[in-house]
Amino acid sequence: MKNKSNKSASSADNSSDWRSKDKSSIDDQIISLYRSSQPSQQIINKRLELIARLSNIISTKYGSNYSVESFGSTCYQVSSSSSDLDLVIIDKDRPHGFDPSVDVYQLPSAYNPNNLAKTLSSNNLKSVQPIFAAVPIVKFTDPVTNLQCDLNANNLFGIRNSLLIKSYLDLSPIARPLVLAIKHWAKLRGLNDSAGQYGPTTLSSYTLILMVISFLQFIGHLPNLQDADQIKAARLPEHRLWVRPPVKRRDSKRDQQKPPVETTTTQGAQAAPAIIPHPPDVRVSFDTTFVKRPLGNFIPTNLSLSTALAGFFYFYSNEPSNSLNEFWGIDEPFNYETSIISMKYGGIIPRDDLFVDIYNRNLDGNINLTTTSVNVQKNTTTVSAQQPLQWREQLLVTQDPFITTRNTSTNVRPQTSRHIIEEFQNGHKAISSGKCYDDICKKRTTPFEGEPGPGSFRKAQRKVTNRRRKGNGKGEKSAKSTATETNKKSTSDSQKSTNKDKSSSESSKPEEKAVKEVKRKRKSRKPANKSTTVVIPKNNQASTAQP
C-alpha cells in the first residue's frame, strides 16, 4: 500500500467526483449533528462542579496529595450531553504511575476499589459498583447532576491519551465533526458496543478515534505528533509512564513468596543466567512523549467532511473500487492481513511477529528477552516497538499510541471483525450511490449473520453485587441463603438417617441367622462338660455360650 499524501486533496474537491451534488448536503448534516450534540454550558458547569466536589471528598478522606481530574471524550471535546464522565485520582506522590519504587501489594487505601466504593457511598453517591479489571475502576452515579462516572486510581495513561488526541483534533477544523459523525454512524449500526451488552463485542469509541486519526495521517491531512525527529528537534525531555502490573486479589501474598524464575539471556551459551522475578513483579514502562504542534507553520490539506467520510469508508472497506479515488491520496484500501493501524507511526505499519508479552511465557516456559530491554537489578523492562505474537490471531489490530503492545480492539472476534469490514463496505457503497448521511446511518435492526443482533440476543448485564452486601453486615449471610443452607442440611441429615437405618437392618440379618443356628445346635446336642465357644458376627467379637 502506497501513501499518496504528497498529492493535495484540495484539487480533488474542486474536481467533479461521483457525488458532487450531495456534498453540501452531507457536510451540512454532519455539521448540524456536531452542533446539536455539543453539551450546553450548564452541563459543562455541572461536570466541573462534580469534579471539584469529588476532589474535595477524596482529598478529605485520603490526604491532600490526591485530586480528581477528567479524561476521555469530555477532555478532547467530542462528548455529548449524555456522555459518561471518565475520572482519575491523581496521586502527587506517584507522578510516573507504578514505577519500581511503588509496592503494588502495599498501596494506599485510595487504590482499593472496595474502600473507594465505600467512601463514595458514604457521601451519597448512588449505584456504586467496584469493578476489578486490568485497570480497576468504580462506577457510580451522581444524584445531583445525574451523571454516570467511572473513577480509577492514578492510571495516568488515560490523561496522556486524551491530551494527545486533543492535540490532533486541534490541528484540523473537520477532525472533531468527522469523529462525531463516525461514532454516531457506528452506534446506530451496532458497531460501538465494546462491552457487548446489546450485541457482539465491537469497537470502543477510543478505537474509532484512533482509526479516524490514523486515516487522516495516512492521506497527509494530519502529521505524526510522536515522530522521533520532531521530538528531538523540539528538545522535549522523555516523558515515561509505568504500567500497573497484574496482581491477583486473593493470591498476592502467595505470589510474593514464589521463587524467582531462572532463565538465560540470548547473548550466547557462555552468558551467565539472569534471575528474572515472577512476571507480576516485572515493571514495564512506555514512552508517552509527543509534541503539541509540529515544528513550522503546519496547515492541514483542504478536505471537506463528505470527502473525508467517503475516504474513511473506502480505506477500511478492504475492497478496491473502480471509482475515482485519487482525491483521497489512497492507492488501495487498508489490508487487515498484512498491516495494523498505528497512530504512533503515522497511520499504518506492517505486521511483524517478534515480541512476546513479558507477563506471559513462551512455549519453552521462559520469559522472552530477545526484543525487550531488561534491567535485572531493578526488575524493570523497557518495551521496544515490536508486536505481540497473539496479534497473529486477531484480524483487526489497532495499536495503542503509548502502550504499544496493546491492541485496543483485542476483544473483537475475527468473525465480528469481518462484519465490521462489511459495514465499512456498505457505507462506501451507500455514499457512492449518492445517499445522504441520514440514510447511511439508518439504524440496524437485524443481527449480523451467524451472531445475535443488537437488543435481541442479550439482556443488559446485571450489576455485580459485593458478597458482603448480600447479608445484613460483615460476615453475615442473608435470610434466603441461611434458609437454603438449613433445608440442605436437614435433607442431608434425613438421607443419612435413612441410609443408617437401612444399613443397620441389613447388618442385623446375619446376626439373627447365627443366633437361630446356635439354638438349633443346642437342642440337637447332648449335654457336655466342656464349654463351647461360638463366634457370632456381632461387632466382630467372640462370645461364649454355655451348654
What is the 3-class SS of 41-98, one letter each residue? HHHHHHHHHHHHHHHHHHHHHHCCCEEEEEECHHHHCCCCCCCCEEEEEEECCCCCEC
**Who contacts 365 (Cβ-Cβ below 8 Å, separation ≥6)?**
none
- Residue 540 pLDDT > 50: no
Say if residue 358's pLDDT is above 90.
no
Mean pLDDT score, 9-33: 62
Percent of the chain with pLDDT over 90: 51
Helix then strand then coil, in percent of the chain rounded to 5, is: 40, 15, 45
DSSP H or E run through 141: strand 137-142
- Contact between residue 436 and residue 32 where contact means Cβ atoms under 8 Å apart: no
pLDDT band at residue 390 under the 50/70/90 scheme: confident
Per DSSP bridges, beta strands 339-342 and 398-399 are parallel
CA dihedral 252, 253, 254, 257 (to 10 degrees): 120
Distance CA(281)–CA(298), nearest Å, equals 44
In this prediction, residue 245 carries a pLDDT of 84
102: Cβ–Cβ under 8 A, 6 or more apart, which residues? Answer: 94, 242
Asked if residue 227 has pLDDT above 60, the reply is yes
Among the ranges given (30-34, 39-43, 464-468), the one the predictor scored with the smallest mean pLDDT: 464-468
How far apart CA 266 and CA 362 sit, in angstroms, is 14
- DSSP letter for each residue of 476-499: ---HHHHHHHHHHHHHHHHHHHHH
pLDDT at 23 over 80: no
What's the mean pLDDT in 337-342? 94
Closest by CA to 430, choosing from 439, 422, 421, is 439
Least confident of 122-126, 199-203, 470-474: 470-474
Sheet holding 85-91, edge to edge: 66-71, 85-91, 147-153, 137-142, 126-131
Q: How confident is the model at residue 2 (pLDDT cuts 50, 70, 90)?
A: low
pLDDT band at 426 (very low <50, low <70, confident <90, very high): very high
Task: Name the band, by pLDDT with cuts 50, 70 and 90, for residue 375.
Answer: very low
pLDDT single digits (tens) 45-59: 999 999 999 999 999
pLDDT at position 392 = 87
Residue 26 burial class via C-beta count within 10 angstroms: exposed 0-12, middle 13-18, buried 19 and up: buried
Ordered by start, the domain boundaries in the chain are 41-154, 167-248+308-441
Higher pLDDT, 426 or 450: 426
Query: Would the pLDDT of 63 be above 50?
Result: yes
Residue 263 vs residue 432, higher pLDDT:
432
Q: What DSSP designation does 525 have?
A: S
Q: Indicate if the pLDDT at residue 502 is higher than 70.
A: no
Q: What pLDDT, on a 0 to 100 scale, did the predictor assign at position 165?
A: 97
Sequence-ordered alpha helix ranges (H) in 171-328: 175-188, 205-218, 228-234, 252-256, 305-315
Do residues 172 and 101 lie in contact, with contact meaning Cβ atoms separated by under 8 Å? no
As a CATH number, domain 167-248+308-441 is: 1.10.1410.10
For residue 278, is pLDDT > 50? no
Which whole number is the average pLDDT over 64-73? 96
Number of other CB atoms surrounding residue 233 within 10 Å: 13
Contact 280, 245 (CB under 8 A): yes
pLDDT band with cut points at 50, 70 and 90 for residue 330 = confident
Measured distance CA(84)–CA(145) in Å, rounded: 12
**In the structure grid, which three cell numbers stand for residue 216, read together?**
487522516
C-alpha cell belonging to residue 277: 522475578
Instruction: Name the band, by pLDDT with cuts 50, 70 and 90, for residue 331.
Output: confident
Q: How far apart are CA 94 and CA 155, in angstroms?
A: 11
CA 77 from chain center: how many Å?
23
Q: Is the dihedral of CA 406, 407, 408, 411 positive or negative?
A: negative
Q: Which tens digit of pLDDT belongs to each residue from 403-412?
A: 999 999 999 9
Contacts of 434 (CB under 8 A, 6+ apart): 18, 19, 21, 22
Q: Which fold has domain 41-154?
A: Beta Polymerase; domain 2 (3.30.460)
For residue 393, pLDDT over 80 is answered with yes
CA distance 341 to 398: 5
